[in-house]
Amino acid sequence: MTVTARPIKPGPENAASVPAPSPDPLIAPIVLADLAATDELAARIARLARSGDLILLQGGLGSGKTAFARGFLRALGVREEVPSPTFTLVQAYETDKGPVWHFDLYRLQQPEEAIELGFDEARANGIVLVEWPDRLGPHVPEDALTLTLAIAGPTQRSVTLSGSGEWRMRLAPAGLT
């Protein structure tokens, strides 16, 4: 996959699906043509991830958050089914890089509920993927990598990466800044 930066111009057909820009974007919004392109981006980021990393997946329903998580986990050797943890809230996987925790916080009412689910312990012991990170409230660490996903067409998704300076340094060699 060649990831090509292309600005997304919201039109009436997709204006509601394009989220507000994230702070400190690392790259211009890019368009992922299809699920295979999403999987390739997920694999590239998975290769860079390490224990203690927090990767936030924000976007509306159907924007590709779970698809990204599946691609990320497959790239790290997970062969079992990767369901959306909407009802279980969190799924843990043993991967080639150690444990990866996949949280879906959509149904949380209070940010403290994420802590009760073991968010801090998961982060201390592995890589953490979080769908609906806005539910973390004040518990979002500054060193997270945020992927803001949006529907850009029938099979296309746009994604903007944002995060700390450390993530900029890690993503640059992979051509993602």
Render 104-116 in DSSP notation, one character per residue. Answer: E-TT-SSTHHHHH
pLDDT at position 2: 37
Residue type, 107: R
Question: What mean pLDDT is predicted for residues 146-159?
Answer: 94
Is the per-residue pLDDT at 8 higher than 70? Answer: no
**Residue 26 pLDDT class (50, 70, 90 cuts):** low
Strand partners, 155: none
Whether pTM > 0.75 for this model: the answer is yes
Residue 129 and residue 122: Cα distance in Å, rounded? 10
Q: Which whole number is the average pLDDT over 20-29?
A: 60
Q: Which CATH architecture has domain 27-155+168-174?
A: 3-Layer(aba) Sandwich (3.40)
pLDDT(18) > 70: no
Q: Per residue in 45-99, pLDDT tens? A: 999 999 999 999 999 999 999 999 999 999 999 998 887 777 678 899 999 899 9
